[in-house]
Amino acid sequence: MMFSKANNIEGLWDFEYMLKLANSGIFFFTTKSPKMQKLVADELKIYDIAVFDYSKYREDYSYYKLERFADQNPDKKILVVLNLQNAMIGKYSIVNLNLSRDMLYRRKQVWIFGMTEFLKDVILINAIDFYSWVNLKVSFEDENVERDSHYEFIASEEGFLKLSFIDDLLETYENPLKDGDDKDLIGDDNKTKSSFYSDIYEKIASLNNKKFEYDEALSWYFKSLNIREKIFDSEDPSIADLYNDIGVVYRNKGDYDKALEFYFKALDIREKVLWEGHTDIAFTCNNIGVAYSDTGEYDKALGYYFRALEIFQKVLRKENPSNAILYNNIGGTYGYKEDFDKALEYFFKSLETFEESLGSESPGVATSYDNIGSVYRDRGEFTKALEFYNKAMKIRQKRFGEEHPSTKQSYKNIAKID
């Protein structure tokens, strides 16, 4: 969820409107001081919230601590956790936070975490999948709630794809498995433990996918799926999540039939258990569109892209990066159909949205420049193509350096014309 600049009262109205729509989820806000976090919590008290404050405890982050807090407040829809930075003290704090993501989500409550700007910086450096589930940022200019604030998406487009970093994380996730404690997980008495290890298997699978070890990734995903199918209902959203992730790996392998099989399994569950305007349905439709585009079934791809776009336009702000990614996919599909005017229309929409959401020098902007350049190249307008290719190259040189693969790709694009 992205919020543009607004005065603080309007911003809080936006925040509150979003909370009214949310039945569950994980949201974060950052402030300059603990006192400001308390101000946000005070504004949310109209929702009969429960508050857990880590400043009162001297201990590392633990899902089980929050689980007990949630169990003590089963009638509360919104659980607010303040001063998360106080709990990020151990070597594996952020790893544990990542591992607990899905367990928190499955409790069907809204979790709102407050943290200082320092912790945000630590997370962006160290948490590989964090951008995918941190929804918003609240930053107060001072401690007067009548003053200006702004809301923005916390994201790191660059990702964390250094193999050494991924290997270090893999070792961290695999450590709990070395003593064989994940054996004999299935059973009512072991549901929490089983869920925990299912999440570990999922994380290991995700990291292997990032290493391009697709068969290894699938092996871990199916181990996780085997557990969830036994301890959860067959239409549990977490099973749909795994189907979707498995589809992604098959698509990466180039097995598009299998990818579509699992994407449609995910979509079937999500259509049954989620409301029609839920973004998870839109993301699944986008994935189906990508797979159809990969196989040359462009009209089918556009059908699913536009279904996703219809949902996004209803529930997301226009400057949300998800819109930019979808515009990019639509533009690419029109490009494959050689409808260059339509391709440019959607690539320019993607460019504008990336600029508004992530800044004029973000990697997404560079990608949009590249795509626009490619359309102009295909139309034979080589001067314009060079103009946009060079814009993309300058961003990548500045952001990533000369040796980064994306920078080298920019050089190749330019060389094709020169």
3-state secondary structure 372-386: HHHHHHHCCCHHHHH
pLDDT, residue 360, reads: 83
Residues of the chain with pLDDT under 50: 1-11, 125, 127-161, 187-188
Please give the Cα distance from 187 to 134 (Å, whole number). Answer: 32
Question: By the 8 A CB rule, do 87 and 60 touch?
Answer: yes
pLDDT, residue 198, reads: 83
pLDDT, residue 10, reads: 44
Q: Which residues contact 33 (CB under 8 A, 6 or more apart)?
A: 116, 143
pLDDT, residue 36, reads: 72
Question: By the 8 A CB rule, do 286 and 329 touch?
Answer: yes
Amino acid at 283: F
pLDDT, residue 354, reads: 85
Amino acid at 339: D
Both structure tokens of 36: 């400001």
Model confidence, pTM: 0.63
